[in-house]
Structure 1
Amino acid sequence: MSFQNTLAYAQERDHDDALRYYREHFHIPKHQGKDTVYLCGNSLGLQPKAARAAIEEEMEKWAELGVEGHFKGDDPWFTFHKTLAEPTAKLVGAKPSEVVVMNQLTVNLHLMLVSFYRPQGRRYKILTEAGAFPSDQYALETQVKFHGYTPEDAIIEVTPRAGEQTWRTEDILQTIRDNGDEIALVLMSGVHYYTGQVFDMAAITQAAHEVGAVCGFDLAHAAGNVVLRLHDWDVDFAVWCTYKYLNSGPGGTSGVFVHERHSNKPDLPRFAGWWGYDQEERFQMKKGFIPMAGADGWQLSNSQILPMAVHRASLQMFDEAGMEALRAKSEGLTGYLEFLINSLNQPKEDLEIITPSEPSARGCQLSLLVNRNGRQLFETLMANGFILDWREPNVIRVAPTPLYNTFEDVYRFGQFLEAHFRR
């Protein structure tokens, strides 16, 4: 792709962008009366303008119907989660019966680990990437302790090679093979939060299954960011949040995928709740848990109607635009960002992109390693209307997201960096 470091080029790309009108569907934070350059959708997506109306609709239903809102009106709360199944399935490459929206991410991760981390005898270890997001680290640490193991013994962490920032797929696969008879579960990120690297989920799943292990993914930074094919890749389970690329509000609800070969096994161990009980008999209040068919059988409690209403408003845009089209624009935006940064010709001691350069190995995010005065640069950017994300010890994460970011956003960021390093 041929890029140009000019405002005219950026504006021309925006003019030709078939998805450009989606930006108008979001509230853009202001700085000194002008739109910020918001490049932080990997941390918290912007608010869809439809979100407020979606919440107000459910508030009106609550006001008018009270408890009867569970059964009356459009989209009764009793089955509200089912309205999210079809667009969610399209988003992650699944069948509608394989997905459910419920709870929050780490709660769902623990629920999945109850069902899919089943250590027995020699096979008790979990393989993951070193430096996974802390929630994943803590979940795995406490799960292995719960089963009577020590994290130092039971968790295998795959690290990048010496002097490298990202993982080589062949190293991950070889580590799985080398430890295959001891691994009960492979659990990795779909996209690594710090480096922005996309892992080869299909190859990792295949390798895990070849050694007899279960394979799951935390898709917090992948859902709504990259094209997913969870069913076709034969992934056993996955979890994700909705407040990052999916723009569903701070602390928003979460999604779960359970492959159909597991989701209709009522004897599969799980922590159960009333809302996961067979819907046709739920109000008979019987003893003895009978799960709903599919991923719905992992639900615990009543649906979170207000967060789900916001999520549905956002999902409608993804459903309309399509992940393939969003991904194509994303590759253009991120490629342009990479081009502008590389054009600065800064020594690695000052500025280095640690995210893979191959488009298939990254999503929206580029992670910039700033070894000298990184925090100062970040704060200067923020003070000048560029909303980004800082991660210790020295990384600025920059994420141009295709629903609301523009090529001009990326150009303006590049111009600011150029002025900064030319001083």
Structure 2
Amino acid sequence: MHTTQLKGTLEFAKELDQKDPLKRFRNQFHIPTNANGEEQVYLCGNSLGLQPKLTKEYIQQELEDWGNLGVEGHTEAKSPWLPYHEFLTENMAKIVGAKPSEVVMMNTLSVNLHFMMVSFYQPTSKRFKIIIESDAFPSDKYAVESQLKFHGQDPNEALILWKPREGEELCHFEDLEKIMQTEGDQVALLLIGSTNYYTGQSFPLKKITELGHRHGAKVGFDLAHGAGNIQPNLHETGPDFAVWCSYKYLNSGPGSVGGCFVHERHANNKELRRFTGWWGHNKQTRFNMRHEFDPIPGAEGWQLSNPPILSLAAIRASLAVFNEAGFENIREKSIKITNYLEFLLKEIEGDQIEIITPQNPEERGCQLSIKVKNANKALFDKLMAADVIADWREPNVIRIAPAPLYNSYEDVYKMVERLKKLL
């Protein structure tokens, strides 16, 4: 039997799982089951990550401390609430490639996006335009348009869309360069999703940052589909800011607290405009209520409110799993398991399947977006009925994301076999 035929078997998938150095982590997550108690094939971590079994323990500890200590939990809890967000910082910084002083977990993604634009979108009569990718996640587009209007700008004139070429799905960096050559002296901010939610394309973050800064613009990234998926190396890459959510690849539960990065070159700039709140104030004098605002150096200085401890506990649990696994190992498996998914999809006979995500592993995370010829949402509904949990995006894309911490090669094999039968 040829090697390619071997690869297309359940035995080969199981062999890959046996050799997988991260295989033990699957058992550290709750895998959803069907009505018969059988595990579903869950490939939707790009929408909502699965729950680590540690989460209940971490949240239960805070419930017990709240019950037993009341307000004293701020200082006397097993993990005191007053500095609780600091317990997450180091592990989070590793995952996004930042210094701990550059990272803080606070608010939610779109809220952080607005707060960052308060500081880093400072339009003038000559420099007022914002560039986003044309198929950015809708929330990004809404946030940017509302910021433009808030500053008295017309989005029809001030919003520039970085688009794929005619008949294509993916954006070309060269086209962004051309936009900057033409419009660069009018661009105030480049705000790009690091990994596009629809196509799964990961953009060259360092090249984009250097391009924006070379033309005098500020640069920010939305890492909603990047954090925990690709390594953005934020400190070295050098954007002015980045924001992300924690409930997709970071497995912290629906609507959980988001993350924020502010590059250290802005750490001590007290003149930078920002919307402020008491939790961003100097920790030594925070509880002396009579002081003028004195921002904490670094990303913490953008905090507004004392954080929701139960949500942070869930994030902390997931970050503990990430730290144990090691993000380099996670990324290595991500490339392998996604390559395996790509191989199996390409083995499907005929030309029914088109993968619109880039083939180069450096230009994608673990998500593959597929178009199925002459198919509509009915096919996706049948796939869900066959216990494959994936994600449908209009008009005709199924997004499949084998998350390396809890998905197995066997999951991938089963998904493709069930898709074949439905086709």
TM over 0.5: yes
Q: 2:385 is matched with which residue: 380, 383, 386? A: 383
Task: Give the aligned partner of residue 401 of structure 1.
Answer: 403
Deviation of 1:174 after TM superposition, in Å, equals 2.4
Counterpart CA distance in 2 for 1:183 and 1:346 is 46
Counterpart mapping for 1:227-238 below 5 A: 227-238=231-242
User: Are 2:382 and 2:422, in contact at CA under 8 Å, matched by a contact in 1?
Assistant: no
Match of 1:248 among 248, 252, 256: 252
> Which residue of 342, 356, 372 maps to 1:338?
342
- The answer for unaligned runs of 5 or more in structure 2 is none
Q: Deviations over 1:42-82 (max 9, x none)?
A: 00000111111111100011011111111113221110011
Q: TM-score, normalised by structure 1?
A: 0.97
1:74 to 74, 78, 85: 78
Matched, 1:292 2:299: no
C-alpha root-mean-square deviation of aligned residues, in Å? 1.2
State the shift of 1:141 in Å.
0.5
Q: Take 1:177 and 1:20, find their aligned partners in 2: how far apart are those partners?
A: 48
- From 258, 263, 287, the equivalent of 2:262 is 258
Mean alpha-carbon deviation: is it higher for 299-308 or for 281-290? 281-290
Task: Find the counterpart in structure 2 of residue 39 from structure 1.
Answer: 43
| Equivalent position of 2:170 in the other structure | 166
Alignment-derived partner of residue 360 in structure 2: 358
Distance (Å, rounded) in 1 between the aligned partners of 2:422 and 2:232: 38
Q: Deviations for 1:13-56, whole angstroms, at most 9, x for unmatched residues?
A: 00000100000000000013210000000000001111111111
Cα offsets for 1:197-224 (capped at 9, x unmatched) = 0000010000000000000000000000
Residues 1:87 and 2:88 aligned together: no
Matched, 1:20 2:23: yes
Contact 1:70 1:76 in 2 (8 A): yes
TM-score for both structures, normalised by structure 2: 0.97
What does residue 304 of structure 1 align with?
A: 308
Within the candidate set 3, 7, 11, 2:10 is matched to 7
- Among the aligned pairs, what percent are the same residue? 53
CA distance in 2, matches of 1:416, 1:120: 55
What do the CA deviations read for 1:82-139 (whole angstroms, capped 9, x no partner)? 1111001101010000000011110000000000000012100001100110110000
Kindly indicate whether the alpha-carbon contact (under 8 Å) linking 1:126 and 1:186 is maintained by their aligned counterparts in 2: yes
8 Å contact from structure 2 (residues 285, 291) kept in 1? no
Decide whether the 8 Å contact of 1:127 with 1:176 is kept in 2: no
CA distance in 2, matches of 1:160, 1:261: 33
CA displacement 1:308-349 (0-9 Å, x = unmatched): 0000000011111111111110111111111111111332xx
Q: Say which SS state the counterpart of residue 180 (structure 1) adopts.
A: helix
Q: Deviations over 1:267-293 (max 9, x none)?
A: 210000011111100111125211111
Whole-Å separation in 2 of the counterparts to 1:163 and 1:311: 41
User: What SS class does the counterpart of residue 356 from structure 1 fall into?
Assistant: coil
Does residue 420 in structure 1 map to residue 414 in structure 2?
no
Describe the SS at the equivalent of 1:35.
coil
Which runs of 5 or more structure 1 residues have no equivalent in the other structure?
none
Task: Provide, for residues 216-271 of structure 1, a one-character-per-residue CA deviation record: whole Å limited to 9, x for no partner.
Answer: 00000000001121000111100000000000000011000000001221121000
Give the secondary structure class of the aligned counterpart of 1:409.
Answer: helix
Once residues 332 and 420 of structure 1 are traced to their aligned partners in structure 2, the CA distance between those partners, rounded to angstroms, is 26
Q: In structure 2, what is the equivalent of residue 214 of structure 1?
A: 218
8 A contact 2:229–2:365 mirrored in 1: yes
Q: Secondary structure at the match of 2:7?
A: coil
User: Which of 310, 315, 319 is equivalent to 1:315?
Assistant: 319
Task: Tell me which residue corresponds to 2:32.
Answer: 29
Moved segments of 4+, more than 4 Å: none
| Aligned residue pairs, count | 419
Structure 1 counterpart of 2:309, which letter? I
- For 1:219, the aligned partner's letter is L
Q: Is the 8 A contact 2:383 2:422 kept in 1?
A: no
Aligned to 2:57: 53
Residue 170 of structure 1 and its aligned partner are, at CA, apart by 1.5
